Amino acid sequence: MPDTDPNEFTEREKFILSYYRSAELSGSRRVALYDIAIGLMSIACIVTFLAKDETGFGFVGYALVIGRLFYLVVEGGRWNRDFRSIFTKYDAKLRAMAEAQRRPKGAANDDG
């Protein structure tokens, strides 16, 4: 088993960090437009269900909402764990840097 630093970022965490560092990616309206499109399609299906009494449209309309909600809850949980891990690792690195700055210059080589 390789000896790795527990404060090193995983590939997924590196991806998340690079995503949020890039204004072109994280500032994208794609996700908002996707959510709006799903909402509008769902409303259209439910209106069609109510107007024409077509059960299939009602099912699809509600399935779109429930499916998107399920996706957001599952992915939100994954992102929550990832962000918690990223913040914990950053905090550990900041503490180590602060501790290194507080130590006197000659104390780093003193072993006792």
Q: For every residue of the chain, which 3-state class applies, written as one string?
A: CCCCCCCCCCHHHHHHHHHHHCHHHHCCCHHHHHHHHHHHHHHHHHHHHHHHCCHHHHHHHHHHHHHHHHHHHHHHHHHHHHHHHHHHHHHHHHHHHHHHHHCCHHHHCCCC
Does 112 map to a domain?
Answer: no
What domain count does the chain have? 1
Residue 20 in domain: no
CB 64 within 8 A of CB 41: yes
18, part of any domain: no
Percent of the chain with pLDDT over 90: 51
Give the pLDDT band of residue 81 (cuts 50, 70, 90): very high
**Which tens digit of pLDDT belongs to each residue from 28-79?**
788 888 889 999 999 999 999 999 999 999 999 999 999 999 999 999 999 9
Structural domain contains residue 35: yes
Instruction: Specify if 1 maps to a domain.
Output: no
CB 64 within 8 A of CB 38: yes
Tell me if 42 is assigned to some domain: yes
Give the Cα separation of 59 and 51 in Å (integer): 14
Q: Is residue 81 in some structural domain?
A: yes
- The boundaries of the domain holding residue 67 are 31-101
60 CB contacts (<8 Å, ≥6 apart)?
Answer: 45
